[in-house]
Structure 1
Amino acid sequence: LLQAQVFNPDRFTVTHQIRQVMLLLESTLDREETQINGYVVICDYREVSLKQFVVWSITDASNTAKCIFQSLPVRIQEIHAVGVPKFISFVTDLVLSSMSEKIRSRVLVRAIRQ
């Protein structure tokens, strides 16, 4: 479960966020249940501000996704992004367009109605 609202963009950078995700993945790669079952990721974007998103460039998001999906031996079963603000939906579409169809089919985005 990734809770985006706890990220403090005044204190941490995108690099810190990427490191955190990579460390989490690396620390669980050796577990047998992870190797067999893979990951189901739930990203909670409720109560996030624009300030938390603007630190990410489209290139950052795209490169991070490619790194995770193409460089690490992880099995991502599903990614659920819930509470995605309307103002960020276009970025989500751009990042998803840079991924393979196989990965895109595993990403489920639920936007907040505003």
Structure 2
Amino acid sequence: MAASCLIDETSSQPTISDDDLIKLAKEELNEIPEKRAEDVNTLRKRIQKHPGLNIRTDDAYLLKFLRASAFDQDAAYTLLLKYFELKADEKNKQLFTDLRSAAVKHVVESGVVGLLPHRDKQGRRVLVLRPGKLDPSQFGPPDIFKASFMLIIKLAEDEETQIRGCVVLYDMKDMGFGQMTHISPFYAKRSVMLFQDSVPVRFKYIHVVNEPAVFDYLLALAKPFMSQQTVDKMLVHGHRLEE
């Protein structure tokens, strides 16, 4: 992926027109085309009543939160607040400073974070993380978080992905204690938040392959921050890549 196109949160109008996508959106997301404008407006009015919540309220922006929440107004509103709070939290300031493609180009080029060029059999985009490729002398968890966040937000702009969702592939090949020692509970928690109720993307599954001996330690570090729903989405395959 070219680093120059990692992120673009500019306003655009929703333009879904594919019959299969419309059907899928209705079946999985409870999205009714005739009610879409009304649903977006309901969420917009609720946001406008929230003091201090200074965010975009255009149709395209709000629609992705509704789709990520299966058009549940309360869930969409809560997701939007969590997304806003994640970015506004002073403790996370370092993670949301200098969100430019050029600032994380080295992470993408290293292969630690990226997107597969093709969709899976269900038409979902695949976000790939390869922590074993991390050279701690070159960069660390903050840069990985930034690159992951920017890719996820880019995914959230795509209407087909909003509807079909996406999957995460953790390829743990070559990961050892050299990388593990740089992952603190702080970064473990923030990383979990990226895939759990804090960004407007529907993560269908989290596949883990080639897990090393340190995987149990890594899971023990992250699991206290994981909901049962996230745990249920995690599928550990070992070296059986044909699965």
Matches within 5 A, 1:28-39: 28-39=155-166
Give me the TM-score of the superposition, normalised by structure 2: 0.43
Would you say 1:96 and 2:223 are equivalent positions?
yes
Quote the residue 1:65 is aligned against. Answer: 192
Preserved contact between residue 38 and residue 74 of structure 1 (Cα < 8 Å): yes
Preserved contact between residue 169 and residue 207 of structure 2 (Cα < 8 Å): yes
Quote the residue 1:10 is aligned against. Answer: 137
Provide the aligned C-alpha RMSD in A: 1.8
1:28 Cα deviation from its structure 2 partner: 1.4
Matches within 5 A, 1:98-113: 98-111=225-238
Gaps (5+ residues) in structure 2? 1-127
Preserved contact between residue 180 and residue 218 of structure 2 (Cα < 8 Å): no
1:59 Cα deviation from its structure 2 partner: 2.8
The partner residue of 1:51 within 170, 178, 181 is 178
Q: 1:43 to 1:103 in 2, by over 3 A?
A: same
> Considering only CA atoms, is the larger Rg found in Structure 1 or Structure 2?
2
Q: How many residues align?
A: 112
Would you say 1:84 and 2:207 are equivalent positions?
no
Give secondary structure in 2 for the equivalent of 1:71. coil
**Equivalents in 2 of 1:66, 1:82: separation in Å?**
21
- Opposite residue 103 of structure 1, the aligned amino acid is T
Q: 1:57 to 1:63 in 2, by over 3 A?
A: same
Give secondary structure in 1 for the equivalent of 2:167. strand
- Opposite residue 147 of structure 2, the aligned amino acid is Q
1:2 Cα deviation from its structure 2 partner: 1.9
- Opposite residue 170 of structure 2, the aligned amino acid is C
Gaps (5+ residues) in structure 1? none
1:68 Cα deviation from its structure 2 partner: 3.9
**Equivalents in 1 of 2:230, 2:215: separation in Å?**
20
1:73 Cα deviation from its structure 2 partner: 0.9
1:22 Cα deviation from its structure 2 partner: 0.2
Moved over 3 A (4+): none
Preserved contact between residue 149 and residue 194 of structure 2 (Cα < 8 Å): no
Preserved contact between residue 86 and residue 111 of structure 1 (Cα < 8 Å): no
Give secondary structure in 2 for the equivalent of 1:105. helix
1:67 Cα deviation from its structure 2 partner: 4.2
Q: Hey, which of these two has a bigger chunk of strand by percent?
A: 1
**Equivalents in 2 of 1:74, 1:108: separation in Å?**
19
